[in-house]
Structures are given as structure tokens and as C-alpha cells.
Amino acid sequence: MSINQNANAGALPNFRNLGILLRILVIVDGMCLAAALLKTNEPLALMEELIDLSALLQPILILSLLILAAANDWLHRLRYSYAIATLIAIELAVTTAVYYFGLNLFKGMGALERYWIFTLLVTGILIGYFELRGRALSPALTEARLQALQARIRPHFLFNSINAVLSLMRQDPRRAEHALEDLADLFRVLMADNRQLAQITREVGLAKQYLSIEQLRLGERLQVEWDIAAMPPDALIPPLVLQPLLENAVYHGIEPRSEPGVITIRIHRDGDRVHLLLRNPYRQASDHHPGNRMALANIRERLALHFDVEASLKATATDDAYQVHIVIPYLKGST
């Protein structure tokens, strides 16, 4: 994950995430340029100062990122305060080692304390930046937005589901009982703490329960095709990604139609990526509904929260179909 979900107050970034690494590189190199500009603004002198700083700082940066990537899982198991102390100790140790190694290669490097101060300053700024970013994309805030979205959809779904169950009570009580159990399971998940990544099999099971409830009232009008033979069962995904998309697919793609419509869900792994594709019938007049855009925006936010730039969501529309394609990194969960 890009953010440690175990604590809202503090969170280390995922040092194996491409987006995190790019941000660190940009911030450190930007501070290196700022430090050089404080000494001179003459082009030639500025270039010389940048070369002098980079000769030591770039090896420190590269070695630090390699060590932090290797220790990423261990750091995230520590309490936040201990992880920060360990992080600072690693950076000072790397700076010291590279400094003494560089003494044999470069002259006029200056005092070690100068590089310690710069290292502490850069590390502090990076910690503060990721702390603020974690709060801006905090799971609590995102979950509140998700609950607001669900609150708009839930009454419509709940009303129709209860009516469908009531219509079955006399003619098929066993099926009505199963439907109520599915409904209870679905709402139990909706009301739970959904900040942790979830097993993809759990999300697929939840989606199937939701669709079985909708099948009660829509009957043959709702047809579902699952293509999940190549789905990695141990993959982790953000919770409540499939269900809101399916709810929109039913609401915008199936309900307005008098004829049957097919919702296709395909999930497969391609190397170190997991692909989720959802396709449903499309009618331009109904699909451009604010609720649909809200669901997509909410899911994009949560993908960014968990995976940064390593995840993507693309929605496309043709003359008769609407498709959502989500790509996330393949993270293994415990089976």
C-alpha cells in the first residue's frame, strides 16, 4: 500500500511504490538546487555547486532508497514513532558511510556535520510532506465520502430489495430467506471499517450477493457473465470497488431497458498487474448521471490512496456499452 493504513495520525510511505520514489527524487533534487541557488546565481558557479552537491548527495539518495525498499515491510510493522527514529538513523548512517568513502575520491567536501544537517532537513521535509499527504488522503475522509455516496444510493436499493423479498415470502420462502441473508451480509460490509485492502475473493463474493438480490426484482432482464478463471484469489484490492460499479451498471444500464441486458465482469492477472473490467449496456441519456461520476471519482481517490500512480481507472463509452477498466498492482494477501 502507498500509505500505512494502521494509523491515521502518522503513516510511512511505501518505499517500493513508483510514485513515492518519484516524489522523493523530485523533492530531494529540488532542495539540492535550492541549496545551490542560496550560494550563487551565476550559471557556471551554480553548475559547479550542483555538481559538488550531487557528487555526494546522489549516492546517498540512491543507497537510501535501496535500503528503505528492502526494509519497507519491516519498517511498516514498527510503531510510527519507532519507524521515524529508525528512518532517521538509517539516513545518518548512510550519509556517514558515503561521506567517508567519498573522502578518498573528492577533496574539499567540507565537514561531515554539514551533510548531517542537510540530511536531517531533507528527511524532516519528506516526513512532513508524506504526513500531510496522508492526512489529505486520509482513510477516514475517503470513507466519509464513500458513506455519503452510499447514503444516496442505499435508500433506492433498500426499498426495491425489500419489496422484492416481500413478493417472495409466500411463493418461495426459502429463496426469500436467502435473499434476506444476502442483504444482511451486504449491509454488514457497507457499515464496517473498510480502510484496509481486502481479499479479491471477498469482494467478488460480495458482488455476487448484491447481484443475486437485484436478480429478484429484475429477473431475466439482468444477465451476468463472470470471467474470473484467471483471477488471482490471493490478490488484494480496495474494498467496495466492485459493488458500487455494479450498482451503477444496474441502475444506469439495466433498469432503463425493457429488454434483457448483460453485465460482464472480467478479472485477470497480467504479470504484476491485476485487471478488473466491467461492461454494461449503455444509453447516453441515462449513463451521464451525477451518481455515476461520483462513484468513479470516489474509486479513483481510493486507488490513489492505496496505490498512488501504480493504479489506474479508465471509463469508456461506445454506442451500446459502457466499460470501466481498473488496473492495480498485484499484492498478495494471506490465503
pLDDT band at residue 236 under the 50/70/90 scheme:
very high
Average per-residue pLDDT in the chain? 80
Give Cα 83 to chain centroid, integer Å.
22
Quick one: cell of 57?
548527495
Residue 117, pLDDT > 80, answer yes
Q: Do 193 and 113 have their domain in common? A: no
Q: Do 169 and 75 have their domain in common? A: no
Q: Are 244 and 252 in contact (CB under 8 A)?
A: no
Q: Model confidence over 10-26: pLDDT tens digits?
A: 568 888 888 888 888 88
pTM: 0.65
Q: Residues, the chain, total?
A: 335
Q: Do 295 and 197 have their domain in common? A: yes
Q: 85 in a domain, yes or no?
A: yes
Q: Do 74 and 222 have their domain in common? A: no
Q: 90 in a domain, yes or no?
A: yes
Q: Do 223 and 319 have their domain in common? A: yes
Question: Shortest CA distance to 80 belongs to which of 17, 137, 130?
Answer: 130
Q: Do 148 and 293 have their domain in common? A: yes
Say if residue 77 is exposed, middle or buried (CB neighbours under 10 Å; 0-12, 13-18, 19+): exposed
Residue 6, pLDDT > 60, answer no
Last residue in a domain, options 78, 102, 136: 136
Give Cα 92 to chain centroid, integer Å.
31
Q: Model confidence over 94-104: pLDDT tens digits?
A: 989 888 887 66
Q: 167 in a domain, yes or no?
A: yes
Question: Shortest CA distance to 1 belongs to which of 134, 200, 131, 192?
Answer: 134
Q: 225 in a domain, yes or no?
A: yes
What are the residues whose beta carbons fall under 8 Å from the beta carbon of 310, sequence distance 6 or more? 2, 17, 18, 19, 328, 329
Say if residue 192 is exposed, middle or buried (CB neighbours under 10 Å; 0-12, 13-18, 19+): exposed
CATH number at residue 238: 3.30.565.10
Q: Report pLDDT for 287.
A: 44
Terminal alpha carbon distance of the chain: 18
pLDDT band at residue 2 under the 50/70/90 scheme:
very low
H helix count then E strand count, the chain: 11, 7
Helix-helix angle 139-168:173-190, to 10 degrees: 170
Question: Shortest CA distance to 268 belongs to which of 313, 230, 323?
Answer: 230
Quick one: cell of 107?
577533496
Q: 32 in a domain, yes or no?
A: yes
Q: Give the residue with greater pLDDT, 265 vs 137.
A: 265
What are the residues whose beta carbons fall under 8 Å from the beta carbon of 9, sequence distance 6 or more? 80
Q: 2 in a domain, yes or no?
A: no
Q: Do 42 and 71 have their domain in common? A: yes
Q: Model confidence over 250-290: pLDDT tens digits?
A: 888 888 888 899 999 999 999 999 999 999 998 765 544 55
Q: Are 11 and 134 in contact (CB under 8 A)?
A: yes
Q: Report pLDDT for 215.
A: 84
Residue 174 half-sphere exposure, CB side, CA atoms within 13 Å? 0
Last residue in a domain, options 136, 162, 193: 136
Q: Do 108 and 164 have their domain in common? A: no
Q: Report pLDDT for 8.
A: 39
Residue 84, pLDDT > 80, answer yes
Q: What is the average pLDDT across 304-333?
A: 89
Last residue in a domain, options 136, 158, 185: 136
Q: Do 64 and 200 have their domain in common? A: no
Quick one: cell of 274?
491485476
Q: Report pLDDT for 267.
A: 97
Quick one: cell of 247?
450498482
What are the residues whose beta carbons fall under 8 Å from the beta carbon of 154, sequence distance 6 or more? 190
Q: Model confidence over 138-174: pLDDT tens digits?
A: 655 555 555 554 554 455 566 667 777 777 777 777 8
Q: Report pLDDT for 265.
A: 96
Continuous H helices in 71-111: 72-77, 80-102
Going by their DSSP bridges, the two strands 321-329 and 222-227 should be labelled as: unpaired
Q: Report pLDDT for 7.
A: 38
pLDDT band at residue 326 under the 50/70/90 scheme:
very high
Domain with 228 in it: 139-329
Q: 43 in a domain, yes or no?
A: yes
Q: Report pLDDT for 288.
A: 44
Q: Are 114 and 56 in contact (CB under 8 A)?
A: no
Q: Do 143 and 213 have their domain in common? A: yes
Q: Do 125 and 144 have their domain in common? A: no
Long-range contacts of 64-68 (CB under 8 A, 24+ apart): 64/90, 64/91, 64/94, 65/15, 65/21, 65/24, 67/94, 68/15
Q: 104 in a domain, yes or no?
A: yes
- Number of domains within the chain: 2
pLDDT band at residue 201 under the 50/70/90 scheme:
very high
Q: Do 37 and 111 have their domain in common? A: yes
How far, in Å, CA of 97 to CA of 60, rounded? 9
Residue 185, pLDDT > 70, answer yes
